[in-house]
Amino acid sequence: MSRVLLTGAGGNLGKVVRENLAGVYDTLRVTDLIEMAPAGSGEEVVQCDLSDAEAVMQLVEGCDAIMHLGGISLENTFDSILNANIRGTYNIYEAARKHGVKRVMFASSNHVTGFHKRETRLDATSEMRPDSIYGVSKGFGELLARYYFDQFGIETACVRIGYSFEKPLTRRMMAIWLSFDDFTDLAKRVIAADRVGFAVVYGMSNNKETWWDNSLTSYLGWQPKDSSEQFANDPNITSEVNDPNDPAVKYQGGAWVAAGHFEDQK
């Protein structure tokens, strides 16, 4: 892959991935709605609103693959999510189709399946049960990716990211933690694999407790190396007391389930 596009490069995870991918490809084109750090060696920096179809069409031109991390990463109003996550993702895939881009890594979310109970083991075939409008938008993205693969042959790995921050703060986060290095390795593997097809991958490190099974997408050859167990003795973890009937504990989506509908919170 000569030129790879990274959307959402100004976000928390996007900044890390951008740094970790330095020098991996001939050209890394990075984009976000917000201002980003200046271009480094082998980089192109393009500020772009993903809801602007014409701008996205120009953004994707000349790219060989796309890592799509762009969009809103928290629950928000429907209109905000519509523009950033739904319209923006559609624009990315339509531009990919018109410019002949054949591979995408789509940053989906565990909130696509947040209403499954913790004791339910999920895999790539599990039913979508979103816990939020944000989760709905990521489910839309996965269905869009499915359509663009079946209709146009654009391969996508939909990565249902768990909790990808420096360290987990709760026992729930321990189960779904995804280290920065493991996520970067997965992103690189998706781009490098001989074939991706349409894949749903759960974004988690090699944690002791887990609710997800990636055996159906093991053909990608990704094996996470890190584990949340290194944080098991953190005071935040050891002092945690939970009610098993609390919706935030009962369901995989955690506090997102317990929060209810966003519009009712205002």
Active-site residue (options: 134, 148, 163, 251): 134
The crossing angle, in degrees rounded to 10, of helices 133-152 and 88-99 is 10
Annotated catalytic residue 134: yes
Tokens matching residue 75: 């629950």
Which residues, at least 6 apart from 100, have a Cβ–Cβ distance to it below 8 Å? Answer: none
* Residues with catalytic function: 134
